[in-house]
Amino acid sequence: MAARRRNSNDASSAGAEREPVSQARRQEHQFRLQVDRQTKESFETNKAAEQAALAIKKAHPILHVEVVDAGAGVSKVIELVK
């Protein structure tokens, strides 16, 4: 079988800088935002986590949104005030 020539217009070879793929765990902060029991993001402060959680809950009120304090082992379910 003959070797295939590489297309010089290929986007991956155009010098585009990519982050190396890693299996290392990303840095987790103390306060974690969970949507439907799946961790979406972590925050350094409780206030920032609750603000993000409230924004998600306002946009999608049917979702289960909570902020988990990994240090204290406590979670707070975010609910809309009626």
Query: Looking at per-residue confidence, does 35 or 1 come out higher?
Result: 35
Domain containing 60 equals 27-78
Q: What is the mean pLDDT of residues 6-23?
A: 65
Residues 32 and 70 sit within 8 Å (Cβ to Cβ): yes
Q: Is the pTM of this model over 0.85?
A: no
| Within-domain flag for 71 | yes
- Mean of the pLDDT values across residues 50-58? 97
- Number of Cβ within 10 Å of residue 64's Cβ equals 13
Percent of all residues in the chain with a pLDDT value above 70, rounded to a whole number: 82
Q: How many structural domains are present in the chain?
A: 1
Tell me, what amino acid is at 57? K
* Residue 67 located in a structural domain: yes
